[in-house]
C-alpha cells in the first residue's frame, strides 16, 4: 500500500505538470462560445482523465492484491470487478468522444442505453428489485423485466442529470466531494471513496486555477461510478432508501426534468444546450461562489437531515419549495 501511495503521488505530480500538453495532444479543449459558456479562454477538458487514472491505479492494485476482497467489499468477485473496470472505461470514452466530436444527443442516448442493459444484466446485483420509501414505510417488489427497466431508467437519469449539472466551476466537483464524504462517514466502501476523494481534490486544484474542466468524460465517469455504487448500497444495505437518494439527487434531477419540459414546450430537442439551468439563473443575481454555496447547501443540509433525523418527506418539500421559489423569483 505504501508503494501504491507513492505511485499515486508521482502520477498526480506528472499530470499537474503535463496537463496542458495532454490536452493539446488530444485536442481536448472547451472553447468559449460567447453564449452559454462563461469562460473566455480555451480550457483543457482533462478532469475526467486525472480521476480515471487515480481510480484505475487503485482498482488494478486491488485486482492483483491477494487480499483485495477483504479491502474492497464492493465487488462479489474478480469478474464483478472486471465488469466495473470495463464499464467506467466505456462511459469515460463515451464522454471523451462527445468532448472531441460532439456526438448528437440522440446517438449518445442510444449508445448509453445499449451499454447499460448488458452491464446491469451481467452484474446481477445491480438490478433494483424493490422500491423502498422510508417516509411511506413501503417496500414494493418489482417483476424482473420491470426491475431492469427501472434500473436502466435510474442510471440514465443520473448520468444525464449530473452531466447537465456540470455548467459552472466547482459545482460538480463540490457535489461529488460531498457524495464521497457521505459514503465515507457512513462507512460505505470506505477505501474506494477515500481514493475517489483524493482524485477529486487533485482535480479541484486544477479547476480552481482554470487549468482543467471536468468535461463530459469526467461527468459521465463520475455519474456512472456514483449511480453504480448507490445501487450497490441500496441493494446490499437496508439503511439507504429511495428517498435518501432523492434528497441527494433532487436538485440536479428536478432541474433536468424542468429543462426537458421547457425545451420540449418550445419545440426544441430536450438535450439542446441553453442558459436556463438553475445555476445560470442564480448567476444573474449572485457571484460564482455564492451560487455554489446556495446550491450545495440546498443539497447537503436536507440530505443529511433526512438521513440522520428522518422526516425525509418534509426535507424533500423544503428543497423543492426553495428551488422553485428561486427559479420564479430570479428569472
The answer to the question of residue 298 being in a domain is no
Q: Residue 1: its pLDDT value, please? A: 63
- Range list of H helices, the chain: 2-26, 47-63, 68-71, 78-101, 105-123, 144-165, 171-185, 190-208, 215-236, 242-265, 278-283, 288-309, 312-330
Question: Which candidate, 16, 330, 6, places its Cα nearest to that of 202?
Answer: 16
- Residue 289 in domain: no
Considering the chain, what is the average pLDDT of its residues?
A: 87
Residue 68's pLDDT is 52
Domain count within the chain: 1
Residue 35 carries which DSSP code? S
The predicted model gives 287-311 an average pLDDT of: 92
pLDDT above 90: residue 79: no
The pLDDT assigned to 151 comes to: 95
Dist. CA 105–CA 275, nearest whole Å = 17
Residue 264 is assigned to a structural domain of this protein: no
| Segment 264-277, tens digit of pLDDT | 998 888 888 888 99
Q: What pLDDT score does 196 carry?
A: 87
Longest dimension (CA), the chain: 58
pLDDT tens per residue across span 4-33: 677 777 888 888 888 889 999 988 988 876
* Inside any domain, residue 126: yes
Which structural domain, as residue segments, surrounds residue 140? 2-236
What are residue 30's phi and psi, to 5 degrees?
Answer: -100, 110
Tell me, what's the pLDDT at 211? 84
Domain membership flag for residue 258? no
Predicted model pTM: 0.91
Q: Quick check: is 317 in a domain?
A: no
Amino acid at each position: 500500500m505504501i508503494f501504491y501511495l507513492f505511485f499515486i503521488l508521482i502520477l498526480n505530480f506528472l499530470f499537474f505538470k503535463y496537463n496542458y500538453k495532454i490536452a493539446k495532444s488530444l485536442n481536448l479543449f472547451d472553447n468559449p462560445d460567447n453564449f452559454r459558456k462563461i469562460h473566455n479562454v480555451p480550457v483543457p477538458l482533462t478532469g475526467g482523465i486525472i480521476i480515471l487514472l487515480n481510480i484505475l491505479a487503485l482498482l488494478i492494485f486491488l485486482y492483483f492484491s491477494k487480499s483485495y476482497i477483504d479491502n474492497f467489499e464492493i465487488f462479489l468477485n474478480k469478474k464483478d470487478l472486471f465488469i466495473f473496470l470495463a464499464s467506467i472505461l466505456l462511459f469515460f470514452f463515451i464522454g471523451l468522444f462527445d468532448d472531441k466530436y460532439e456526438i448528437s444527443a440522440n446517438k449518445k442516448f442510444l449508445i448509453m442505453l445499449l451499454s447499460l442493459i448488458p452491464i446491469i444484466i451481467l452484474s446481477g446485483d445491480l438490478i433494483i428489485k424493490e422500491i423502498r420509501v422510508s417516509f411511506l414505510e413501503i417496500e414494493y417488489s418489482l417483476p424482473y423485466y420491470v426491475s431492469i427497466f427501472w434500473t436502466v431508467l435510474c442510471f440514465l437519469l443520473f448520468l444525464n442529470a449530473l452531466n447537465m449539472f456540470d455548467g459552472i466551476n466547482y459545482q460538480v466537483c463540490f457535489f461529488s466531494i460531498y457524495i464521497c464524504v457521505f459514503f465515507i462517514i457512513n462507512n460505505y466502501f470506505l477505501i474506494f471513496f477515500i481514493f475517489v476523494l483524493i482524485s477529486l481534490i487533485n482535480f479541484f486544484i486544477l479547476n480552481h486555477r482554470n487549468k482543467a474542466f471536468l468535461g463530459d468524460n469526467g461527468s459521465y465517469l463520475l455519474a456512472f461510478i456514483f449511480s453504480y455504487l448507490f445501487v450497490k448500497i441500496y441493494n446490499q444495505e437496508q439503511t439507504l432508501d429511495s428517498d435518501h437518494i432523492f434528497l441527494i439527487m433532487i436538485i440536479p434531477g428536478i432541474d433536468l426534468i424542468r429543462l426537458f419540459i421547457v425545451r420540449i414546450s418550445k419545440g426544441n430537442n430536450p438535450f439542446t444546450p441553453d442558459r436556463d439551468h438553475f445555476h445560470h439563473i442564480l448567476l444573474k443575481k449572485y457571484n460564482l461562489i455564492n451560487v455554489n454555496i446556495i446550491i450545495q447547501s440546498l443539497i447537503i443540509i436536507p440530505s443529511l437531515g433526512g438521513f440522520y433525523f428522518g422526516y425525509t418527506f418534509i426535507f424533500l418539500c423544503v428543497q423543492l419549495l426553495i428551488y422553485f421559489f428561486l427559479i420564479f423569483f430570479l428569472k
